[in-house]
Structure 1
């Protein structure tokens, strides 16, 4: 009697706290625990309610069959089921226990559940984070895990040049399809060389070997990949896309992604053909050990920010040539390029002081030598009231100065109304506007044209590829045609050799700039002579 009394208490405790169900041999619900009522959001049960009705349709048939098979074999069953109520879906671990009478006939089924919905949800989130929805490639999550697993000493980051031109011009769906086709091709190309590819974001991908490959071999495989890509034409709908990429490679024992990103920024800044930019950990740490803020502050105080001037040559006698001001920081016996300090300065109050210094020197040089000089402005400059007021003051006080303000295409669209207002104010005071790096965001063409720029500078990657890439040539020809109608002169950057120079002259491009035309110099009079 005592044992029966204790057993009854055990059963009552179990039934009141556990997720529990009792079914008839036919699978109809005889009883549910209070917790199970809440889980399924059931307030009333009919005697004919079948438990299988609460199983999710996607796995209802399978679960029913495996439970039936277990019962026929006289066994219990353990598995995962998805239960569906009127308000939500729950994932549960389930144990099915058959109970038999003395004759061995099935009398009842007891089902015990454990709610694992939260675990499944977290698992789904992890899966979503691990694999990119567009390309199906693993993402940064797997990349970081694989870096540790492989103990890799090298990593590359790849960026598709001019991808935005395709996505903006043909639409986002086209861009996604282009990324999918590129990803499939890249996987097949890289897999035989034991290199895995991951999508980081947008058109940026990471590549690492699946074992501890030596950096020289890894770089060699990347070069072969680059060369194969140059011959590839991806057919997306009725468009034949010829892709070019920039690749940066990081080598070291740690900070692989940071090293590769640093190398990529160099690769994107200077188009150098099929070349992999490499940054090694030792060099990176040495370069970044410098505390740039006090150096920048000191250079401002001592007036050590100096302008270099690069000629922009007119291809006809009808238009005068002009010069672009390029800032350098004088440090001992070296003049440091802006790539070393300008991004650091942008995060401080000193950045507007550097812009002011460049404009002051450009104004004086323009007045002294009677030439037009262009100055680069960032969106930070245009959004800075102090800088804009200074520009307006300079233009009013130095009416003989001929200043052209260059704004990059991508930055000009960040706050278009502000840029448009700035352009109007500058023109009223005698200044001019140039759109730089045009061709990066092709869909903004009509909007940019509404600025009525005085010059349009074509993105250097288009000029570099114009003799070899039909897409680049088509984009250039389209720009020439429209700009001729609108009477907007074109400036072609990155003119590095006679072949490109001759081709652009034959296309009646108004202005040319590049090392073939002339290198930057700190003295305008030297360039004039």
Structure 2
């Protein structure tokens, strides 16, 4: 046996060394504290954990409990003494566990080390802690991550200003304080006017430099009690505390001057910037943060509509408030209809000009009210778009259209989507999933995007068209002619069909100008071999003219009204229930 003991000792030493390396890698150091003598004995990993390798002489600060206690920041974490020595628990032979966190700042070290200290104390002769065995783990990285997350929860990383969420909280508090103590304050929303042009000309890095510079200039002009926050990419929210209404305009002018007064030095050279401002007096013109934010943004848009570098002050209006309340009520109705599956489709035939037969139907959205009344899309879609509900509605329209195409194999449909959907990846993903489940539906579906939206977001719209066509769908430009489409734009969009804006068709027989314009649009489309649909066809004379111009398809109440009941299941046209558009 004795012959093997050296090998056993070597193995034991190696195992101990491995354990130390593992503890060091995990940022853990073990210690034992003899409370009576106040001596602390650390294992070798303490040097790495506390950074003693940089200055071994600092180890003397860890030798005793008193010396170590002097290193602990009393304001950073739980007091170690209280966690161990002030425990009201009694050691019944197995020891008493403890756990605490605190920061240790060694002399001359740049950063404190945050540690988690956990272990067991054993009672001495008096029953109080006499011996402590514990493990200290470096949790500095976790603390830094928590601090960063806490910072990001309230502050904008680029500018260092409070973010939208935190600004909303302070705004709510300011309004509540003003209502309670009859104090007038103000909320301003400032937008950088030409940031999109700067992005396009110089790139996002320079645009970010402009945002930071504008933020700094605004901050320098504000009082210490005022709050500056970043509410969107190019927009800042400003809370002016204790600000009378007559001071709002003066402040807005001063803020605009400080931005446009001199150029901003950037990595790409000097850049000029201006801001426009929407101003709201609180709490008189806004009784909560949501009202203040929306009214400031509405007023900012009004200021920008006049010219760059302008301001506007929100004014209460009974008519506007009445319209706003109606919109809110209508929004509630839309959300309820979505939840209760009360959105439905009405089908209007699109007639082939040569044969007079319905080759496809446009699926038009309708809402059924709880009492059974059917409401056309024109009554609620504009409000839905203003309040950000259009994407939800477009998803529901897609679901309803797919359900119809699956139920009726002979159905061919056209559906409209909003401008938001053209940049909504989730809508394309949903369409892709439907196509995977039922491949034949895509060849029977036409997706219509309005021309004005397509031209405004030309690159995104072109990508949207490509994605749809890759799935087998066709794409049509709706309201063709309203956006002054050129050969170049038609080529870039690469659509399958165009629909002439009905405003040019209505009264076509009486307007020579509209006749020339429609002929030009048809000629433009034919150059790309695109079928043409004319909307709002109202009488036989218009049908005759449009056929003569070479229009391929006709749509309008004269040729067929939208019907709720699926036309593919009807035995006669007279049995369909007509619904007003």
Return the structure number with greater relative CO, CA threshold 8 A, min gap 6: 1
Query: TM-score, normalised on structure 2?
Result: 0.41
TM-score (structure 1 length as normaliser): 0.45
Determine which structure has more spread, i.e. the larger CA radius of gyration: 2
